[in-house]
Structure 1
Amino acid sequence: MRTALCLLLFCSSLALADQDMPSPALADYLADSYRVEERIVIGGQPSAPALQALSDEGIQTVINFRTRSEVEGLDFDEPALLAATGVDYHEIGIGRGEGAYSPAVLEEFNARMNAAGENGILLHCGSGYRASQVYAAWLVKYRGLSPNEALERVSPSGWWPMPMEQLLGQPLSVEIEEG
C-alpha cells in the first residue's frame, strides 16, 4: 500500500512538472536564445509554434528588428499569431534598403522598452545580431553602461569578443568619442 501511494505521488508530481515545462518548440527556441535580464530574451526568428507559446513563459512584448520584407517573407503571420495570444508586437525594421542603424531607431526602441514596463520581452531579428546591437546601444545611451559593459552583456550573441580580438589574441577597448 505504501509503495502504491509513493508511486501515485511520484507520478502526480511528474504530471505537474510536465505542465510547467515549455512546449518543445519554445524550449528549443529558448535553448538557442539567451537572457540578458531576467525578463528580457534575445534571439533569432522564432517558429510559429514558439511564438504561440511565448505568453505561457511570461513574454508579453515582442520587438522584431527584421524589415517588413523579411517579415512578409515568413510562411506564417507573426503579428497575427502574437495578437491571438495577447502579446504586444512591434517592428523596428533594420536592414539593407529599408532601415539603417540610427539614433531614431534607438529612440523608438527606448519608447517601446518604456511602454513594456516590467513585462517579459523578446527581442529578435533573423539571427539575434541586430537585436543584440540595438540592446547594447540602448544600455549605453539609456542605462549608463560603458560600451565594453554593454557588449559584454550581449556576448552570448557570439560577436563579442569581436573577431578582430580573437584574431589578435588580445582584447580591444571600445569607447565613445567625445565631440
Structure 2
Amino acid sequence: MAKIDQAQAKVLAEAQIEHIQLFIRSEDPDLSMLRSFVTNWFAYNEGGVFLNRNGRPRWLNKFHPIKHAQLYLGCHFRSVQAARLIGSGGEEGDLVVDHAIPFSHLRKMLDVAPDTRSGIVKCLKENLRLGVITQAENKKLNDRKLRAAMPKGATSVTARYEAAGIKLAK
C-alpha cells in the first residue's frame, strides 16, 4: 500500500464527512460505523501523529505511554493521572483515549446539525474532544454509568469527568 500525502489525506477526510452525512440520513442505529467514520475523519483531518507511517488512521488505544507519548499529547486534553504516565512510565494499555462526549450524544448532536458537509464539520469541530485518562479513571466513569451517558443537565464537554471526580490537567 502506497503512502498517502497531505492532499490525499484531506480528500479522505472529506470522504469521511460524506459517509457521516449518508449514515445520518440512513437513520442507522448502529454507532460502530459512525465511530469509524468520525475517528477516521479526525485522523485524516488532524494528520501528524494520528496517521501511521503509511498515512492511514491509527486506532487510539493500547499504545505505550512512553513510546507513543506524542500520540497522547496530540489529544485535546488529559487527566492529571494520565499526564503523569505520558512520557514517563506505565505499561501498554494503562491509558485510554476517551471521547468527552459519548457517541450516542454526538449522534444526537449530528442529527440536529445542518445536513450539510460544513454543518457536520462544524458540529464535529465543536464537540469531538479526545482525552486521555487512565484505566482506573475509565472504570470510575463506567461505575457511575457515564461510559456512554452525559450527566443530567450537563453544559460542559468535560461534565462526565467532573461528575466522576476526574481532574483534568491544565
Which TM-score applies when normalising by structure 1?
A: 0.23
Which has more strand, going by share of residues? Answer: 1
Which TM-score applies when normalising by structure 2?
A: 0.24
